[in-house]
Amino acid sequence: MPVVLATPAMGTRFELVLDAGFLPERHVYAAGEAALEEIRQVEARWSAFRSDSLLAHLQREAWHRACLIEPDDFVLLQMALGVWRASAGAFDPTRRDHDRADLGPEAIALDARHGSVSFKTRELRLDLGGIAKGWALDRAASVLRQEGIHNALLHGGSSSVLALGAPPGQAAWQVALDTGANAPVIALRDCALGVSSQDVQLASHGRMHVVDPVRGTPAASELCAVVIGPCAAIADAWSTALLVQASRPEWDLDSSTRSVFAGREWLIGRGRAGRRDWSRSGSEHHAPIHDLEPTLPLYALS
């Protein structure tokens, strides 16, 4: 039987499903607890609600001096800015003021030689909410690998998923995209999945939590973006970017391959740090996504 552990963090529930294999159960539990602690540490470092977080430190100090940060934190910022550039601003790691063009990611300066970050203006507000859950899963997975656990499924609130290896006797982890009996299923092995959509309850009250950072307009409520990526942070960020991109009026994509579930149009993509490929699934053929995935026609936006 797999070992299942969980912890609350970042306003949601993180869960680990660990295949013990031939490892002692006590070791697997200890490794899982260490991975959960890593998730809690990521939350503590990047929380916008703690005065002692790294984020709070950068907000206080980085506008008037370069701040040295840990290599892992530097990599996270590099990733966030990489997706921002490659997505034409559809993903944005700042709280952008549309009346101030100087308060976006353009005002973040990373110095790879010294491992430091600085802000060009005091008013910039860094916000890694669109990538932090995925990053926490990546860090937890690193802990598990170091402890000899190579088959596991990790998720944060079901919208960020990371698969290591596969369950015993199977080729991959089967991940359903919803709770319904006929929900689309995607097979994951040594890769990650990010899902982004407007919160249905918030949208019903006219409140949209996913907004185009460039235009200030809300992302479409009838779309759900799904991105498969090499790590959870990349999949997390690119799923938000895909949802925003697909909501722009100029979005034009051959939709000859389509599927539908729960009244939403599903957009499937593959995300990497410097590029992205999209495929669209909609309402015509009603083919399950897991049947489409092995030969998924990828569409390069650039």
**In terms of pLDDT, which residue wins out, 252 or 33?**
33
pLDDT in tens, 159-198: 899 999 999 999 999 988 777 777 778 899 999 999 888 7
Flag whether pLDDT at 205 surpasses 50: no
**In terms of pLDDT, which residue wins out, 266 or 54?**
54
Neighbouring CB atoms inside 10 A of 99's CB total: 7
pLDDT in tens, 281-300: 332 222 222 222 222 222 22
Indicate the average pLDDT of the chain. Answer: 80
- Using CA atoms of 8, 135, 197, 103 in order, give the dihedral in degrees to the nearest 10: 110
> Which strand (E) or helix (H) includes residue 142?
helix 132-146
Flag whether pLDDT at 275 surpasses 60: no
Please write down the long-range contacts of 164-168, taking CB distance under 8 Å and 24 or more positions apart.
164/190, 165/19, 165/189, 165/190, 167/2, 167/19, 168/19, 168/21
Q: Which pLDDT does position 33 carry in this prediction?
A: 98
> Which strand (E) or helix (H) includes residue 296?
none
Phi, psi of 191 (to 5 degrees): -160, 180
Q: Which pLDDT does position 281 carry in this prediction?
A: 39
Neighbouring CB atoms inside 10 A of 120's CB total: 13
Flag whether pLDDT at 103 surpasses 50: yes
pLDDT in tens, 46-81: 998 899 999 999 999 999 999 999 999 999 999 999
Q: Which pLDDT does position 177 carry in this prediction?
A: 78
Q: Which pLDDT does position 154 carry in this prediction?
A: 97
Q: Which pLDDT does position 189 carry in this prediction?
A: 94
Q: Which of 14-18, 72-76, 88-92 has the lowest mean pLDDT?
A: 88-92
Report, in angstroms and rounded to the nearest whole number, the Rg of the chain calculated over CA atoms. 19
- Beta-bridge partner residues of 191: 163
Confidence of residue 128 (pLDDT cuts 50, 70, 90): very high
| Domain layout of the chain by residue ranges | 54-119, 165-300
